[in-house]
Amino acid sequence: MRVCVIGTGYVGLVTGVCLAHIGHDVICVDNNVEKVKLMQAGQSPIYEPGLSELMQSASEAGNLQFTTDLTLGVQKGEILFIAVGTPSLPTGETDTRYVEAVARGIGSCLNGGYKVIVNKSTVPIGSGDWVKMIVLEGLNENHQRVNFDVVSNPEFLREGSAIYDTFNPDRIVLGSHSEEAISLMLELYQPIIQRQFALDTSLPPVPVVITDLSSAEMIKYAANAFLATKISFINEIANICDRVGADVTQIAKGIGLDSRIGEKFLQAGIGWGGSCFPKDVSALIHTADDYGYVTKLLNATVEVNRRQRLIIVEKLQKELKILKGKTIGLLGLTFKPDTDDMRDAPAVNIIEELNRLGAKVKAYDPIVSQSGLNHGLAGVSVEVSVEMLADGCDALVLTTDWQQFLTLDYAQLAQKMHTPLIIDGRNYLDPHRMKDAGFHYIGIGR
Ligand SMILES: NC(=O)c1ccc[n+]([C@@H]2O[C@H](COP(=O)([O-])OP(=O)(O)OC[C@H]3O[C@@H](n4cnc5c(N)ncnc54)[C@H](O)[C@@H]3O)[C@@H](O)[C@H]2O)c1
C-alpha cells in the first residue's frame, strides 16, 4: 500500500521504516530540511537500536523515500499518518499547533481517490473530528471534493526498543467511524497482526481493538496515566521502606508475582520522565479540568514524581551535609537507556537543584558524551569518560540505568573520588558489589 508519514521523529521515522520493511511503499515528510537531508543520505537523525540498518535496507529495496514536499507525500499516499510532536504548553494543555499545521497542509493539497488520515500523534480527545474539520476547510477553499476519513491509531512504542515494539505489539488500537478506513488499516497492518515479523511467529495474532475515535484517543492517555501512576505508587512504597527499613526491591518482587499486579513498572527510583508520560498525564488532567472534574489520583501521581526526582538531593545532603562546593558526578543523562532523548529527563531537575545549592555537577552519558552535543544542558560539564567523571567527585549518582554501568570498574572509580559515595537512583547496581569495590552505597528504599 502507498503510505505517507508526516513527521519523522521517534514515532514517525520508526513507523515509516517498519512499514517499508514489511513491503509497503512509504514516503516520509518532514519540514526540517537538515533532518531530511540526513535521511536522504541514509543516516538516522535519532538514536534507536536497529533503526539505521532497517532504514538502509528499506531504502535499498526502493520502499522508502524522504522529502520536505508535503504535497508530494500527500498526493502519493493512500494512507497518511500524522506523527508530529504534541508537546505541553506551560499551562499543561497540549500544544496542537503542529498537528493543525499538518492538517491544514493536507487540506490544501489532498487529491485523488479515497484517503485515510491517521492520527498517530498523541492528541487530545476530540482531535479526530477536529482534524477532519480542518482538512474539509482546506478542501472547500480549493473547491476540491475528496472522499476521506480520519482514524485514531495511537502509538505505544517505547524509545530504546521501538523497532521491537512495532513488530511485537501487545495490541493495535484503531478508532474511526468509518468501516472502509478500518478495513484499509487492517490490510496495512496484516503482516504485523499475523506476526510475520515478530520474534515469536508462533504466537496468536496481535489483538486489535476497534473502537470510536474518542475512545481510541482516550486509550493512549489512560495507558500512560496508568503506567505513570504505577511507578509513582512503587516510589511512594520505597519512601516508606526507607523509613521502616524494608527493601522495596523485595516488595516489588513479592507483589509483582501477583498476576493481578504484574512485575513491570515496579522499579522504584527517581521517577518517570521523557517526552510522553509527563505531557500526557498533564494533558489528561487538563482535559478533565475542562469538563469540571478534579483528578485527585493523577494530581498525586504527578506530585509524587516531582518530589521523587529531588530525593537524590535529600540523600546527598544527608550524607555530605553541605553541598556548596561539593562535586557530584551523574552517571547518565537521558531519561532512560538506549535513547538520546533528553526531554523531561529527571537528571535535568537534579542538575538544577544541585546548582541551586552550590554544588558543581559533572556527568557522563554513553550517548550524550559521545555525540558532542550538549542537548541544551546548562550547569553541568559533560565528561567523555567515566574515569574523568569520577575524578575528584564527592559522590556519584546513577540517574539512568544504561547497561554499560553494570560492568564499570567501580574499584578504580572509587580510588579516583574524593569520597567514595554512590547513590543509585535506579536501584540498578548490586549493593554488595559496590561495597566490595569500596563504595558507601545508597539505593532508593532498599
Ligand atoms: N517518542 C515516543 O516514545 C512516543 C511514543 C508514543 C507516542 N508518541 C507521540 O507521537 C508523537 C510524535 O512524537 P515524537 O517523539 O516522534 O516527536 P518528535 O518531536 O521526535 O518528532 C516530530 C517530528 O515532526 C516534524 N514536524 C513538525 N512539524 C511538522 C510539519 N508541519 N510538517 C512535517 N514535519 C513536521 C519535526 O521536524 C520532527 O521531526 C507525539 O504526539 C508523541 O506524544 C511518542
pLDDT digits 0-9 by tens, 36-64 = 999 999 999 999 999 999 999 999 999 99
- The verdict on 257 and 187 lying in the same domain is no
Q: Is the beta carbon of 3 within 6 A of some atom in ligand 1?
A: no
Return the H-helix or E-strand segment holding 327: strand 327-331
pLDDT at 376: 79
CB 98 within 8 A of CB 127: no
Question: Is 152 near ligand 1, meaning CB less than 6 Å away?
Answer: no
**Gap from CA of 83 to ligand 1 centroid (Å):** 5
363 near 380, Cβ under 8 Å? yes
Among protein residues, the one with the nearest Cα to ligand 1's atom 13 is 85
Ligand 1 atom nearest to CA at 8? 39
- Kindly state the cell numbers that stand for 319: 550524607
Cα 232 from Cα 238, distance rounded (Å)? 10
Question: How many structural domains does the chain have?
Answer: 3
Report how far ligand 1's centroid is from the alpha carbon of 13 (Å). 9
pLDDT at 416: 98
Q: How far is CA 409 from CA 26, 383, 404, 419, 423, in A?
A: 46, 17, 11, 16, 16
Cα 50 to ligand 1 centroid, rounded to whole Å: 19
On the question of pLDDT at 307 being above 80, the answer is: yes
In 42-126, alpha helices (H): 51-60, 70-76, 97-109
Are both 329 and 302 inside the same structural domain? no
**CA 218 / ligand 1 centre spacing (Å):** 19
Helices (H), 213-323: 213-244, 248-256, 277-290, 296-309, 311-320
Same domain? 408 vs 263: no
Closest CA to 285 of 221, 220, 236: 221
Residue located nearest, by CA, to atom 41 of ligand 1: 121
pLDDT beyond 90 at 243: yes
Q: Residue 10: exposed, middle, or buried by beta-carbon count in 10 A (0-12, 13-18, 19+)?
A: buried
Same domain for 289 and 409, yes or no, is: no
Q: For 384, phi and psi rounded to 5 degrees? A: -95, -5
**Cβ(6) – ligand 1 distance below 6 Å:** yes
Residue 358 sits in the same domain as residue 388: yes
**Atom of ligand 1 lying closest to residue 158 CA:** 3
Residue range of the domain that includes 303: 220-307
Kindly report, residue by residue over 405-438, the tens digit of the pLDDT: 999 999 999 999 999 999 999 999 999 999 999 9
Residue where one domain finishes, among candidates 211, 228, 256: 211
pLDDT per residue as tens digits for the range 263-305: 999 999 999 999 999 999 999 999 999 999 999 999 999 999 9
pLDDT digits (tens, 9 = 90+) for 121-175: 999 999 999 999 999 999 999 888 999 999 999 999 999 999 999 999 999 999 9
Residues of the chain above pLDDT 70, percent: 99
314 and 290 both lie in a single domain:
no
Task: Show the cell assigned to 376.
Answer: 541544551
- Asked if residue 336 has its Cβ within 6 Å of ligand 1, the reply is no
Find the CATH number of the domain harbouring 256.
1.10.1040.10
86 lines ligand 1 (CB under 6 A): yes
The response to whether residue 35 sits with its C-beta less than 6 Å from ligand 1 reads yes
Q: Say yes or no: 280 and 369 in one domain.
A: no
Q: Domain check: are 207 and 227 in the same one?
A: no
Instruction: Say what the pLDDT of residue 309 is.
Output: 95
What is the predicted pLDDT for the residue at 30? 98
The residues annotated as belonging to the active site are 276
State if residue 85 touches ligand 1 by the CB under 6 angstroms criterion.
yes
The pLDDT, as a whole number, for residue 405 is 98
pLDDT for 372 beyond 80: no
Q: Which three cell numbers stand for residue 275?
A: 517526552
Q: Answer yes or no: do 130 and 235 share one domain.
A: no
Nearest atom, ligand 1, residue 86 CA: 41
Domain-ending residue, one of 188, 211, 234: 211
User: pLDDT band for position 26 (50/70/90)?
Assistant: very high
Query: Does ligand 1 lie within 6 Å of residue 94's CB atom?
Result: no
203 and 131 both lie in a single domain: yes
Please report the atom of ligand 1 found closest to the CA of residue 32. Answer: 37
The rounded mean pLDDT for the chain is 97
Distances (CA, A) of 432 to 17, 138, 282, 418: 44, 65, 39, 21
What is the distance between the alpha carbons of residues 243 and 382, in angstroms, rounded to a whole number? Answer: 34
* Range of lowest pLDDT (151-160, 175-184, 342-351, 363-372): 363-372
With a 6 Å cutoff on the Cβ, whether 191 touches ligand 1 is: no
Of 278, 307, 336, the domain-final residue: 307
pLDDT in tens, 205-228: 999 999 999 999 999 999 999 999
- At 298 the pLDDT is 98
For residue 12, how far is its CA from the centre of ligand 1 (angstroms)? 7
Which residue of 4, 11, 88, 335 sits with most ligand 1 atoms within 8 Å of its CB, as the best mutation to test the pocket? 11
Ligand 1: centre distance to CA 288 (Å): 24
Biggest distance spanned by C-alpha atoms of the chain: 76
Sequence-separated (6 or more) residues with CB below 8 Å from residue 221: 122, 125, 280, 283, 284, 287
Q: Are residues 120 and 48 in the same domain?
A: yes
Determine if ligand 1 sits within 6 Å of the CB of residue 144: no
The percentage of residues in the chain with a pLDDT greater than 90, rounded to a whole number, is 97
**Residue closest by Cα to atom 11 of ligand 1:** 121
Ligand 1 atom closest to the CA of 45, numbered from 1: 39
> Does 225 share its domain with 205?
no
Residue nearest to atom 19 of ligand 1 (CA): 85
| Atom 27 of ligand 1, residue of closest alpha carbon | 84
> Residue 328 belongs to a domain with what CATH number?
3.40.50.720
- State the CB neighbour count (10 A cutoff) for residue 223: 17
> Is the C-beta atom of 83 inside 6 A of ligand 1?
yes
Residue 374 above 80 pLDDT? no
For 152-221, the DSSP string reads: E------TTSHHHHHHS-S-EEEE-S-HHHHHHHHHHHHHHHTTTTSS-TTSPPPPEEEE-HHHHHHHHH
Closest residue by Cα to atom 43, ligand 1, is 122
Model pLDDT, residue 375: 73
Q: What sign results for the dihedral spanned by CA atoms 165, 12, 212, 182?
A: negative
